[in-house]
């Protein structure tokens, strides 16, 4: 069945059943493999994208429920918060294996877009659903604070 999805500012016609998870369409039909499959049960956050600006587990969203919403993936993320996050991530060398990191960056950018000066507690609340097998949590938290400083400058 043909469906039109708005991804990273572009309308894409895709041929998939309405119940198909957004994650599969992004990766397998649109070739946007920056969004990762980790668990498939909303437990790891590796598949996090933004749907109308909200961090969303793409493994749990059927494309039939996306409608005209704007989907943003790691390939299309932009704006002040996203730029600050990407700069801070590089500056603090956050990444280890990298598998979880697109989801981490999407979650952090959404946090900072709505809260330009998050506390440790705010960061814990916003990021606790994004798991990292390499345990980069300390650097992630420091990088979110650094991104907030960059946004202030």
Binding segment for ligand FES among 9-17, 84-92, 107-115, 133-141 (CB under 6 A)?
Answer: 133-141
- Given a contact cutoff of 8 angstroms between Cβ atoms, the answer to whether 94 and 139 are in contact is yes
Sheet strands side by side (includes 70-72) = 10-15, 2-7, 70-72, 48-51, 54-57
Binding of ligand FES at residue 105 (CB under 6 A)? no
Q: Does 45 sit near ligand FES (CB under 6 A)?
A: yes
Least distance from C-beta 51 to ligand FES, angstroms?
13
Task: Determine if 97 is a binding residue for ligand FES (CB under 6 A).
Answer: yes
Sign of CA dihedral 152, 90, 107, 102: positive
Distance (Å, rounded) from C-alpha 95 to C-alpha 103? 12
49 counts as binding ligand FES under rule CB under 6 A: no
CB of 153 to ligand FES, least distance (A): 27
Residues 134 to 153: which contact ligand FES by CB under 6 A? 134, 136
Tell me: does residue 132 bind ligand FES (CB under 6 A).
yes
Instruction: Give backbone dihedrals phi and psi of 68, rounded to 5 degrees, phi first.
Output: -90, 10
Q: Strand 70-72 relative to strand 2-7: parallel, antiparallel, unpaired?
A: parallel
Binding positions for ligand FES, rule: CB under 6 A: 37-40, 42-47, 57, 59, 95-101, 132-134, 136
């Amino acid at each position: 069945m043909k469906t039109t999805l708005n991804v990273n500012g572009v309308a894409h016609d895709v041929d998939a059943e309405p119940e198909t998870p957004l994650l599969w369409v992004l990766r397998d039909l649109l070739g946007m493999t920056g969004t990762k499959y980790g668990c498939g049960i909303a437990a790891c956050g590796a598949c996090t994208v933004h749907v109308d600006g909200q961090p969303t587990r793409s493994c749990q969203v059927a494309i039939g429920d996306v409608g005209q919403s704007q989907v943003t993936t790691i390939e299309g993320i932009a704006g002040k918060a996203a730029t600050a996050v990407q700069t801070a991530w590089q500056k603090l060398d956050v990444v280890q294996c990298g598998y979880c990191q697109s989801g981490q960056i999407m979650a952090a950018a959404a946090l900072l877009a709505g809260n330009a000066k998050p506390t440790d507690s705010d960061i814990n609340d916003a990021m606790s659903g994004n798991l990292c097998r390499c345990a980069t949590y300390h650097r992630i938290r420091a990088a979110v604070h650094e991104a907030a400083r960059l946004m202030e400058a």
